[in-house]
Amino acid sequence: MAFFSSTLTTPQTGEVPRHIAIVMDGNGRWAAHRKLPRVAGHVRGLDAVRNIVDACVQRGVEYLTLFAFSSENWRRPNEEVSFLMRLFISALEREIDKLHESEIRLRVIGALDAFDAFEPRIQELVRAAEARTETHQRLTLTIAANYGGRWDILQAAQKLAFERLLLGPTAFASPFKEADLAPHLSMVYAPEPDLFIRTGGEKRISNFLLWQLAYTEFYFTDKFWPDFDAEMLDLAISEYQKRERRFGRTSAQVRPNSGHLF
Ligand code: FPP
């Protein structure tokens, strides 16, 4: 499978980000501000997911990747983890018809086998939903669940090492190259994100797509995720449009008529 790399080639970019990745933070605080239980924030967070998926389709975004549950979220209280699992299951059951009708391809990335011990139905639902929407091209919606950027790089390295092992010991003599590892990463089917958005006021990546964010533009907002709507998405996109994406080049190379000497 062909893969995309911002370090091996210089990607073509347009006005509308082709791929947006979002850390949907602030559900708990949204609820706390309203004296509601934290889980109420997750329910409203799911409403925001629906709105942003629609908004991305309308704006011609091709890939939307959402961080729904990190490898580290298992550290939360059991009741909250169970609630998030049930919310994920009911969302998969309820939304799949709509995703299919809207020609949206669903992908789920992360160590899904860990859910087996916890909620065996998840894997089954995920695989069925992915298979049903596989051929759609309007938008690829990726949900990162039990995902961690380090996990992703490690699982890719393990697959690459196994591939080399099958070729015999001499295959280890040449160094691993980016082009060898990249096909094993879980988002091989997507270009790297153009725009990374994090809601909820924190300014960190939190072990999201560590490899894929190499040349992504970052946008942070204090808004809590349940309040993030199409208008705020447009603000993030207009901020993105002001950025000069150089991918290591000089301004003069990127915009030869800009008057920049370097
Ligand atoms: C972070 O807010 C949010 C999560 C860990 C869960 C995200 C889940 C959803 C948006 C709803 C379900 C989505 C899908 C795709 C089924 P937080 O709880 O860390 O908020 P806080 O920082 O204010 O405590």
Q: Are strands 63-70 and 217-220 parallel, antiparallel or unpaired?
A: unpaired
Mean of per-residue pLDDT scores for the chain = 91
What pLDDT score does 1 carry?
A: 58
Residue nearest to atom 24 of ligand 1 (CA): 28
Phi, psi of 144 (to 5 degrees): -90, 115
The average pLDDT across 169-173 equals 77
**pTM score:** 0.93
Residue 51 annotated in active site: no
Q: Is residue 13 scored above 90 in pLDDT? A: no
Sheet strands side by side (includes 217-220): 104-109, 139-147, 63-70, 19-23, 195-198, 217-220
Residues paired with residue 144 on neighbouring β-strands, in sequence order:
67, 109
Residue of 47, 51, 73, 207 marked active site? 73
Least Cα distance to 141 among 111, 97, 174, 103 occurs for 103
Q: How many other C-beta atoms are found inside a 10 Å radius of the C-beta of residue 52?
A: 24
Residue nearest to atom 7 of ligand 1 (CA): 68
Atom number of ligand 1 nearest to Cα 41: 18
The average pLDDT across 173-180 equals 87
Asked if residue 76 belongs to a known ligand binding site, the reply is yes
Asked if residue 38 belongs to a known ligand binding site, the reply is yes
Q: How far is the CA of 133 from the centre of ligand 1 (A)?
A: 24
Asked if residue 206 belongs to a known ligand binding site, the reply is yes
Q: Is residue 2 scored above 90 in pLDDT? A: no
Q: What domains sit in the chain, N to C, each tagged with a CATH number?
A: 19-154+191-254 (3.40.1180.10)
Residues ≥6 apart with Cβ < 8 Å to 9: none
Q: How far is the CA of 24 from the centre of ligand 1 (A)?
A: 6
Model confidence at 252, pLDDT cuts 50, 70, 90, reads confident
What pLDDT score does 104 carry?
A: 98
Query: What pLDDT digit, counting tens, does each position of 92-135 carry?
Result: 999 999 999 999 999 999 998 887 766 788 888 999 999 999 99
Query: What pLDDT digit, counting tens, does each position of 27-40 carry?
Result: 999 999 999 999 99
For residue 261, give the 3-state DSSP assignment: coil
User: What burial class does residue 94 get, using C-beta atoms within 10 Å of its C-beta: 0-12 exposed, 13-18 middle, 19+ buried?
Assistant: exposed
Are 142 and 109 within 8 A, CB to CB?
yes
Residue 73 annotated in active site: yes
Residue nearest to atom 5 of ligand 1 (CA): 69
Atom number of ligand 1 nearest to Cα 32: 23
Proportion of the chain above pLDDT 70, given as a percent: 97
- Give the Å distances, CA to CA, from 60 to 17, 23, 94, 167, 237: 9, 20, 24, 43, 12
Tell me which of 46-50, 87-91, 138-142, 150-154 is least confident.
87-91
